[in-house]
Amino acid sequence: MIKLNPVLTILLIFIICQSCSTNSSNSNAVKNDRVKMDNGRKYVLTIYQEKLNSAGNKFEPFNHIDTLIAVNDTVAYLNALKKFYNQKIVERQQHNYGQPKSFNIVDANGVDLKVNLSDKIVIGLKNQVENTPDVKKMLNEYQKDSL
């Protein structure tokens, strides 16, 4: 039979108990995230875009419709802006001509969030997203292309 040092035994028990409490707190975090997701509101995002048809002679509508879950209108609008600009970046990297032109996000009642939010919030969120490094780089490239 193996005889352990009493101090070592206590230390081992302490470590085992700590790992158990950490795992239970992690499972609580997962449960809390699930509850937050259940409490979120549903929004419909439409990104308006055009693509060349198969013959390559005419642009046709190629809109993306997506569903977003957010806690409130402000977060939903911020997420919509991020998705819109990320889509523009992807299309530009793929050298596609029909890049996203605009977007619209509505709540469950079909009301546009630009109507619900103040102009200051809309402009502030737009400035926040446009000042991220990837978006800023893409906007600068657009500006250089237009010269």
DSSP 53: -
Residue-wise pLDDT for 32-78, tens only, equals 444 445 578 999 999 998 887 877 788 888 899 999 999 999 999 99
Sign, CA dihedral 98-137-89-55, equals positive
User: Per the structure block, which two tokens stand in for 85?
Assistant: 């600009």
Count Cβ neighbours within 10 Å for each residue of 56-83 and write b for 16 or more, e otherwise. Answer: eeeeeeeeeeeebebeebbbbbbbbbeb
Judge contact between 107 and 113, C-beta under 8 A.
yes
The length of the chain, given as a count of residues: 147
Residue-wise pLDDT for 77-111, tens only, equals 999 999 999 998 888 888 766 678 999 999 999 99
pTM here is 0.68
The per-residue pLDDT for 131 is: 94
